[in-house]
Structure 1
């Protein structure tokens, strides 16, 4: 199946009543991973926004990169660039991690999920090395339980673990459903 067929089938599936009512999940959290080959990133990104706007459902699209930048709006992108130039990339990442790990981002996602039928999370590849998908989903379990969450993942999800860009293995994650 090519990527367009997979996207078409996916957007058809999420409009079904069984999906919206979260039937058949066996008391599991309604978390899903739509994995795809990294080279399809731009196509998937455009399709996600297009269908979120087109489908007659209350869908919220959250881009993790944009959300991360919002957390550092007091410094701004120019401030982050300057910090990296002065201190180096590793130091910048080390300095950003505490803000991202203190659940501020997860709280914000939880707020955004309220009054939403479906939550789409994009931008996983853009925040590589700062935000790990399995850690984010583990933290979200306490905040978002009644809204289907779909992570658009440029890589492979085996049902046992994630491989970003089909290159970087993460710690095992098995609580999401492949969709």
Structure 2
């Protein structure tokens, strides 16, 4: 049986929080309508689709790589590692292996089975769209948790991205353990503290 697993990540650009990835094998007998690149969907639509994907997919897995790990190995390697972890989480949870993996983007993690990179795959391949939605909703949920931990930073609003508000709060309150120290705006702030 041909089983296609789609994998995508969320959160490469933010200054704070983990990078997330998800792996999904859809069930051809239970098609899900409305799948699209998670960035093109409203938050409410993403949340509703995430519930549907988890209920109807043959298998799915979500994993993350922390801000500290991102700083240690760089964001590209961290994204690829999150994808490997997501696939493994799916296998551990459902005991199902894919026959082919398709990853959004132009780089593939190392897998023991065939793997293809598909540029803009999240808008071309339903399985990658589904993975994109699960990765994004999981990451957004983790940023809401960060918001309760560090309410003064406005994480619920900007989700860790380098918005004017986030940069302003960074200068005002300093760096949390969840900030990515290898990212330019954070690194710049750290160098000012050291000087």
Q: State the TM-score, normalized to the length of structure 2.
A: 0.28
Normalised by the length of structure 1, the TM-score is 0.30
